[in-house]
Amino acid sequence: MGKTWFYGDSIPLGTIESAMADHQVRSCLATDKALQDYAVIIQSLKVNYSARNSPVIVMGIGYAGALATWFRLRYPEIAIGALASSTPLLYYGNSTTSDGYCSIVSNDFKDVNPKCYESIRRSWKEIDDIAIKPNGLAELTNIFNTCRPLQSSEEIKHWLAQMYSAAAQYDEPNNLGVKTICDYAVNKPSSIDGAATAIRGKLIMENCLPNHIIGVKSPFKPFANDTVAWEWQRCKLIFPVGCLEETMLPAKPFNFIEFKKSCQSRFGVLPNPQPPISFFGSKVVSKADDRRQKAGDKVMRKTEG
């Protein structure tokens, strides 16, 4: 399943800025609205292709996988099943461990090379130590070859955290993956040298670190102009991503009270702390997950035996 018509080329009113500034239009960017759209589309396709009796299985990756699962639970008469890949289905809402994402990213790097993990952990303090020196930000601008002068050390730290998170989440063979970053990190004299070399490896086709990426204020927001749309969805869904001191990424704990204030101030909405899955039958999903896990364990034991 896709996401919603607020992303890609189907943005209402032509631009994301116009769409999100209109309260009535903005209210359409909601999970239940997306599921209703899918229901109409699927039923229409079945009629148009003379496939009224054909079974339907919905599928998706990431957030689209969550939509697929919620669709199956909301419209069991339309879809007989759902397949969700790489989907943090029970991570939405304020009832989950907020440092889960950062812990997984950190463990990915630690599994590849513990020295790499420690090198990246040390780099944040090294960056801050340079930043507070006279002309320290200019020095960091030169080290990381940014397209414009850095205004604070937080900018480059956010960009690096974003790069590390993407490497762990996607780990694409033809892109900058965890192993490649770790090779840079452990074969340089300092942690900062390793990080800077990794960035240079990522920017093969560009002369400097792009301004629009530096401008993103969180390692977990999208790069493109759909950031405001995703922030609105986060206020509706709550995706509690935060990092504690124990993880490899810069410490930034998720604070639900501050998050709620931000959503109310920016969009005039109060986030619901209950995860969306609770409205569609979380017990059903939990039992199914448990059965799949036990079945998987049995397969692993037979394979190992």
What is the chain written as a DSSP string? ----TTSTT--TTSSHHHHHH-HHHHTT-SHHHHHHHHHHHHHHHHHHTT-TT---EEEEETHHHHHHHHHHHH-TTT-SEEEEES--TT-SSSSS-TTHHHHHHHHHHHHH-HHHHHHHHHHHHHHHHHHTSTTHHHHHHHHHTBSS--S-HHHHHHHHHHHHHHHHHH--TTS--HHHHHHHHHTSSSHHHHHHHHHHHHTTT-SSB-HHHHT--STTS-SSTTHHHHHHHHHHH-----B-TTSSSPPB---HHHHHHHHHHHHS----SS-GGGGT-HHHHHHHHHHHHHHHHHHHHHHH-
Q: Average per-residue pLDDT in the chain?
A: 78
List, for residues 175-196, the tens digit of each pLDDT value.
678 988 898 888 887 888 888 8
**Confidence band, pLDDT 50/70/90 cuts, at residue 173:** low
Cα distances from 115 to residues 111, 130, 191, in angstroms, run: 10, 22, 10
Query: Regarding predicted confidence, which is higher, 214 or 266?
Result: 266
What angle do the packed helices 191-202 and 114-131 form, to 10 degrees?
100
Taking the C-alpha atoms of residue 187 and residue 233, their distance in angstroms, rounded to an integer, is 41
Give domain 95-274's CATH superfamily. Answer: Serine carboxypeptidase S28, SKS domain (1.20.120.980)
Q: Averaged over 67-83, what is the pLDDT?
A: 92
- Token pair in block for residue 29: 């960017």
Query: Regarding predicted confidence, which is higher, 161 or 170?
Result: 161
Taking the C-alpha atoms of residue 167 and residue 182, their distance in angstroms, rounded to an integer, is 11
Matching fold, domains 1-89+275-305 and 95-274: no
Of the ranges 52-56, 164-168, 222-226, 248-252, the best mean pLDDT one: 52-56
Closest CA to 72 of 236, 283, 278, 281: 281
User: Which amino acid is present at 50?
Assistant: S
Matching residue, tokens 């702390």: 273
User: Does this model's pTM top 0.95?
Assistant: no
Q: Averaged over 163-175, what is the pLDDT?
A: 79
Taking the C-alpha atoms of residue 34 and residue 222, their distance in angstroms, rounded to an integer, is 20
Size of the chain, expressed as the number of residues it contains: 305
User: Which amino acid is present at 123?
Assistant: S
What pLDDT, on the 0 to 100 scale, is given for residue 1?
A: 58
User: Which amino acid is present at 215?
Assistant: G
What pLDDT, on the 0 to 100 scale, is given for residue 255?
A: 81
Architecture of domain 1-89+275-305: 3-Layer(aba) Sandwich (3.40)
**Confidence band, pLDDT 50/70/90 cuts, at residue 20:** confident
Where in the chain are the domains? 1-89+275-305, 95-274
What angle do the packed helices 178-186 and 114-131 form, to 10 degrees?
70
